[in-house]
Amino acid sequence: MAWAAYGRRLRSAQRLTGGTRKGVYRLSLDGGTTGIGYVWNDDENYWPAAVDPDRNTFFADDTGIDLFVAAHREFTEAGVRVPGIVLLDRSRRLVPGDVAAVEDVRGGSLERLTVRDPDRAGAVLRRLGAAVRTMHGRTRDHAGRPGDGRLSPGRAGRPGNGGPSPNQPNQSVEQVVLDRALRQLAVVASRVDRIADVRDRLADTLRERCAVLSPRTRFGLIHSELGPDHVLVDDRDEPVLIDVEGAGYLDVEWEHAFLELRFGAGYRHLAVGGLDVDRLRFYRLALHLSLVEGPLRLLDGPFPDRAGMLAIVEHNIGRTLAQLD
């Protein structure tokens, strides 16, 4: 792989932490050069199958090189910085799996920079805010992943312009989110007593918050998991987005609910006006439930950072319950 990508002999490969669906390796090469290798295969994917998967929707538990390539293209065309691609290989002859070799952005993550140098991190955050506004301004008339089938925004009878998808007939994006949140609530309630005690109230709250929303016919490009750990900093202090396979087109309020949660006080650099307040309230609750159900499911497998995942679960249980106050 190293020779095919860089024309240099591989000296060592260090597995980097954090990946849950693919292996991420720093490649040290002859001559002091480094690169990053992504490997997609079943052994690198820690996620057990969902009990009730979100098939044919934006939220499908999909991964792989094709999603990476499609998302990379979308961000690049939008003018949002992502690591440059050096090699793509689907032959499975270089290693047992699909492979991408990409630029090694050596400035570390924005998360670490925030601790190490808050002033410098603030400048990067402001640039990230501009990048977020740029990508959210890239829109299309149907929700879903780049290049995939259409998820209806709820206007029946007009396929190709906001009409029902063959895979999701007559379902709006809001209904897809509601159905998913209710399924996740059922799973979480079966595992967390504090959620089970208020399951009916949470279900009613989800339905009430969804009921006031009007369907949309335009959707923005979002990353979907854009936290400071998914932003690297290059040698010019520009933000570089990674782990982009979950990207696609959806209500930008979904992304902003996640940005609020992950960036805390730094969110002020990413905030924008004109967001739908009711949509944000609905998506916050749905998001917190997903950040309980997902990590609990991940912990059913061999994922190594169990303490970190349990912390995410506990934090979002608290956030979920706070939505009832």
- pLDDT tens per residue, range 297-308: 999 988 888 999
Q: For the sheet containing 85-89, what is the strand order?
A: 10-15, 23-29, 34-40, 98-102, 85-89
Phi-psi region of 176 (alpha: psi -120 to 50; beta: other; left: phi over 0): alpha
Determine the pLDDT at residue 214.
93
Determine the pLDDT at residue 7.
82
Q: Where do the structural domains in the chain lie, given as residue ranges?
A: 2-148+214-322
- pLDDT tens track for 114-130: 999 999 999 999 999 99
CA 111 to CA 299: how far, in whole Å?
Answer: 23
Among 43-47, 253-257, 296-300, where is mean pLDDT lowest?
Answer: 43-47
Q: Cα angle vertex 313, ends 267, 283, to 5°?
A: 50
At residue 276 the predicted structure's pLDDT band, cuts being 50, 70 and 90, is: very high
Question: Are 155 and 215 within 8 A, CB to CB?
Answer: yes
Specify the pTM. Answer: 0.90
CA 235 to CA 120: how far, in whole Å?
Answer: 12
At residue 319 the predicted structure's pLDDT band, cuts being 50, 70 and 90, is: very high
Listed in order, strand segments (DSSP E) in the chain are: 10-15, 23-29, 34-40, 85-89, 98-102, 139-140, 219-222, 231-233, 239-241, 248-250
Compare 131 and 4 and report the one with higher pLDDT.
131
At residue 50 the predicted structure's pLDDT band, cuts being 50, 70 and 90, is: low
Determine the pLDDT at residue 210.
98
Determine the pLDDT at residue 167.
41
Determine the pLDDT at residue 71.
96
- Give 50's DSSP letter: P
Taking all residues of the chain, what is their mean pLDDT, rounded to a whole number?
89
Determine the pLDDT at residue 117.
96
Nearest to 278 by CA among 225, 205, 227: 205
- From residue 142, how far is each of 15, 71, 222, 280 by CA, in Å? 37, 16, 13, 19
Would you list the DSSP string of 183-243? HHHHHHHTT-HHHHTTHHHHHHHHHHHHHTPPP-S-EEEE-SS--GGGEEE-TTS-EEE--
- pLDDT tens track for 139-193: 999 999 997 754 444 332 223 333 333 344 457 999 999 999 999 999 999 999 9
Determine the pLDDT at residue 132.
98
Question: Are 64 and 98 within 8 A, CB to CB?
Answer: yes
For a pLDDT cut of 70, what percent of the chain falls above it? Answer: 91
Determine the pLDDT at residue 63.
82
Compare 2 and 125 and report the one with higher pLDDT.
125
Compare 51 and 116 and report the one with higher pLDDT.
116
- pLDDT tens track for 210-227: 999 999 999 999 999 999
CATH topology of domain 2-148+214-322: Transferase(Phosphotransferase); domain 1 (1.10.510)
Q: Where are the alpha helices (DSSP H) in 264-305?
A: 277-298
Determine the pLDDT at residue 159.
31
Determine the pLDDT at residue 56.
65
Among 50-59, 103-112, 138-147, where is mean pLDDT lowest?
Answer: 50-59
Q: Cα angle vertex 306, ends 15, 313, to 5°?
A: 125
pLDDT higher than 60, residue 247: yes
Angle between helices 173-189 and 277-298 (to 10 degrees): 40
CA 202 to CA 28: how far, in whole Å?
Answer: 50
Strands 10-15, 85-89: pairing kind: unpaired
Determine the pLDDT at residue 220.
97
